[in-house]
Structure 1
Amino acid sequence: MKSLLIYLLIFISFIGCKNNPLSKSNDDAYFGGEIINPKENKVILFNRELGISDTLMLDDNRRFIYKLSDLKTGVYSFRHGGEFQLVILEPGDSIMLRLNTYDFDESLVFTGNGARKNNYLIKTFLSNEKESRRLVKHSKKEPEFFETFINKRHEKELQHFSRFLEKKPISEYAKSIIEGNINYHNYADKEIYPFIYFGANKMVHVKDLPKSFYSFRNDVDYDAAHLRNFLSYNRFLSSHFDNIALIPYYHNKNYHSAFNRHEIYYNKAKLNLIDSLVSNKFIKNNLLRNKTREFINNSNSEEDINDIMAYYLSRTTNENHIKSMNSLVASMDNLKPGKGLPDLSIINVNNEEYAIADVVNKPTLIYFWSSNAKRHYRNSHYRVNKLKDKFPQIAFMSININDNSASYWKETLNQYKFDLDNEYRFKSPTEARETLAVDYLYKVIIVDRNANIIHPNVNIFSDDFEITLKDVIQKKGSIK
């Protein structure tokens, strides 16, 4: 890492020479680094809000460096080999990163001016991910226990951050980013809790939670544009609107009836709440699209889908979202139970091309993964391995949805020792994702031995998924 920092210092000294047209002003910044085991020869740096997207090429030493003239303060994304992370960039920063693609987030380290805030931010990311994996375990505890646990954890994290600031202050902007990431991760866990603890049959008891349980809602900012790319903030908003929509839901429902998250009235209530509480157009439009998409992906009612779409279209202002949602509805219409799989080409690890339906010769579960979501593809493959043992009558087909190079795809497969016999990638990923309505990774399609659709959208992580598979096996004529 020292050699990398020297590389940065020499570069800055060179461009800082007098009369050099590339000399650094107070509004400039530098971003560079070294990629160990690179997947490709470039790094993409972008900020969609500011309309910035730059391709930074790696040199023969797997390094890159880039000058950002007249930099605007913000949270930027950088992407390499299908994975990405965030970096806070402010005028005057000279930040160098070092990472190993085999362990992208965990190996990421920053040096240089501006590194300190970003190293702390990465630390909160990794901590949040670790705590999220433990959420289900803690969410089975009584509300009073869970509330105390989250409050203590939250306070501990804020105290640790306060000690960090005492050693060497950072800008108010960077402080708001890190503090927001800490806060909304804890807020999100509280919003998710009742859905895990009470479950569908007892959701009505949300009203019996301790009075202080949601006291943090007084501090919520629905228009925190600086946090709009953060998983913690978006996870909070998504669960929060699921939660507060329970009030109008139960106002019109029998309190003893089981909760149905796919009920049309409940989902329209969510759109109403988003429309009334969120002002920022980017955040509002994303939430409206995501909640509408969730409903459509889980509905078999053409009438309800048309109803929710009309509701959605009267509230969104994003024309690109409207086009994609209309395309989703059209795709879903072609994926109804009983219809055959669309004519799409897939490629195996031997670079052999097939029509997707030609690979099917018995009831088959088709699941999808992206190299951008490491935890998901690890968990989904692990889950499928367990299902294979329980359901030998079912075939399992894994399809990567990225448009990365074949070599990168194969390297990922080999790195995690996935079963290569069942691994494929799309020949035309963009077309295939649209045709199969694969707009979120938890979507799974189940077909019969003739490649006719049985279930167009199920979730292998749901509690009742194994019951669904048993039903498939018991269907007359499914297995011969």
Structure 2
Amino acid sequence: MTSLLSCKKSVEAGEDYAFIGGEVINPNNDYVTISSSTRFDTIALDAKNRFLFKINNLKPGLYAFAHGGEYQMVLLEPQDSIIFRLNTNDFDESLVYTGRGAKKNNYLIKMFLDNEQENQNFMNLCQFEPSRFEKVLDSTRHSKLKELDEFLSFKSYSDLFKTIATTGINYNYYANKEIYPFGYYGYRNLIHYNDLPENFYSYRKDIDYNNEDLIEFYTYNKFLYSHFNNLALKKYYQTATHYDLFDRTSVIYNLEKLNLIDSLVSNPAIKNNLLKYTTRDFMSVSEDSLETQKVLNSFLEKCSSDRDKNYINSLAFSLKGLKKGKKLPKLVLVDYNDNEVVFDSIITKPTVIYFWSSSLPLLLKNSHYKVKQLKTKFPNIDFIGININDDDNTHWKKILNQYNFPVTHEFQFKYPNESLKALAINSVKKSILVTKDCKIINPNVLLYTSEFEEELAQISKKKW
């Protein structure tokens, strides 16, 4: 692939540019995108499914590389020439970089995959009592930092790379400690989070709430979000008692999160992101219109981004049309045979509508396996799967075939962006339960909860 660069003229040292190029095996569409918080570029693949792109006036930092609903981060600094080859059938695991700037990015890819693998086992670790949990986490963190030191000893790397690599280790560790009380105590006994060892959160003195270099970094954002979830517990339990089941939809709890974000984060971009996603998540599950308005008002007072304000206001409008008893919006779907259909024509009995994306392969597999179980348990309820990817209309079919999933109740939105907005879909974890007349029974159900199965059992007994 290095031959891709041979025809390019050399550039003078010091010029702020970077090249990124590569080859996509089994492409899902005919383009890739490169984006950051300040730019978005769409680059066409050529006849050999290759591309090469020069970024001028480069702002050093993390960029998102995306193709066919999947994405990964790449660190670009002046005069990097990153070349890669990837297979969409195994996106993250097949991604290997070559060229100038490759070593640092291959290190970051490995770190990402290691973190992902560890996080899959995280809930098992949450069963450990605090001292044992800390011992395991501390040992893993120490090993990773030692490995990073050894990597840095072979070559001189920029301070930016060192910051990102160190953050990937430390903030993944911090995030796991912030999430731990929710897993260890559970919602029923979460009030005992205060019983954790006194120095359990000693790292908090080292937190940087305003590192703009990390604004695109998933690990950093995961930590911040988990951190504010944890900090807001103090306010929540000033009124709740140990007899109360923790309620993540509490308006007191969510208003406190917004207040904490506003007081502790000064960087506008980081603050606005946290405010937006906290408000979005609350509004998506709240059933109380007055409480929703309180949180919306608090968000609008604190947010400085007109774009984010417009997004949340639009979401609020969509959610008003998705209340219990309302009919589903009239949206156009496409079935496996490319026929255009609408909900009214395919829903004939109580139905669960669930969503999936190829960018979340574990969730798409788990949701289909869960639906298979539920179909057997509740034969008088239908289940419709909708792919939400906005890409080539053959990609979602390839995914279904790859996993040998049945295709008779699978669809894709004809107009994904408009449809996701109309149904207020912010997460593929959300499902919608409707009657045979397409009237909403529950606009926000979770496939994997016992409460959902209890609701299905009640629905099954009714005559619709």
Give the Å deviation of 1:66.
2.2
Equivalence for 2:26: 37
Match 1:359 to one of 341, 346, 356: 346
Per-residue CA shift, 1:70-125, capped at 9, x if unaligned? Answer: 43311111111221111111112111111101111110000111100000000011
Give the Å deviation of 1:315.
0.9
SS in 1 for 2:437: coil
Q: TM-score, normalised by structure 2?
A: 0.96
2-side partners of 1:223 and 1:463: how far apart? 40
Deviates more, 1:378-387 or 1:331-340: 378-387
Equivalence for 1:26: 14
1-side partners of 2:119 and 2:429: how far apart? 17
Given residue 365 of structure 1, which amino acid in structure 2 is its aligned partner? V
Given residue 280 of structure 1, which amino acid in structure 2 is its aligned partner? N
Match 1:222 to one of 199, 202, 209: 209
Structure 1: runs of 5+ lacking an equivalent:
17-22
Equivalence for 1:393: 380
SS in 1 for 2:54: strand
SS in 1 for 2:153: helix
SS in 2 for 1:96: strand
Per-residue CA shift, 1:185-204, capped at 9, x if unaligned? Answer: 11111111111111111011
Per-residue CA shift, 1:379-425, capped at 9, x if unaligned? Answer: 32232223223322221101112221212222222222222111101
Equivalence for 1:469: 456
Equivalence for 1:169: 156
1-side partners of 2:4 and 2:391: how far apart? 30
Give the Å deviation of 1:8.
4.1
Given residue 46 of structure 1, which amino acid in structure 2 is its aligned partner? S
1:347 equivalent to 2:296? Answer no
Q: Is the 8 A contact 2:358 2:364 kept in 1?
A: yes
> What percentage of aligned pairs have identical amino acids?
43
The residue correspondences of 1:38-77 to structure 2 (distance < 5 A) are 38-49=27-38, 52-77=39-64
Give the Å deviation of 1:462.
3.5
Equivalence for 2:315: 328
Residue correspondences, number:
463
Q: Is the 8 A contact 1:398 1:424 kept in 2?
A: yes
**C-alpha RMSD of the superposition:** 1.7
SS in 2 for 1:11: coil
Q: Is the 8 A contact 2:35 2:65 kept in 1?
A: yes
Match 1:432 to one of 419, 422, 428: 419
Equivalence for 2:277: 290
Deviates more, 1:205-214 or 1:409-418: 409-418
Equivalence for 1:416: 403
Equivalence for 1:20: none
SS in 1 for 2:19: strand
2-side partners of 1:110 and 1:77: how far apart? 15
Give the Å deviation of 1:358.
2.0
2-side partners of 1:335 and 1:216: how far apart? 42
Equivalence for 2:6: 10
Q: Is the 8 A contact 1:70 1:91 kept in 2?
A: no
Deviates more, 1:359-368 or 1:463-472: 463-472
Given residue 434 of structure 1, which amino acid in structure 2 is its aligned partner? K
Give the Å deviation of 1:444.
0.7
Q: Is the 8 A contact 1:366 1:445 kept in 2?
A: yes
2-side partners of 1:425 and 1:310: how far apart? 35
Q: Is the 8 A contact 1:95 1:114 kept in 2?
A: yes
2-side partners of 1:214 and 1:364: how far apart? 45
Higher RCO, 1 vs 2 (CA within 8 Å, ≥6 residues apart): 2
Match 1:152 to one of 114, 136, 139: 139
1-side partners of 2:219 and 2:230: how far apart? 16
Q: TM-score, normalised by structure 1?
A: 0.92
User: Per the alignment, do residues 431 and 400 of structure 1 end up closer, same or farther by CA in structure 2, a change over 3 Å counting?
Assistant: same
The residue correspondences of 1:127-276 to structure 2 (distance < 5 A) are 127-276=114-263
Give the Å deviation of 1:463.
4.9
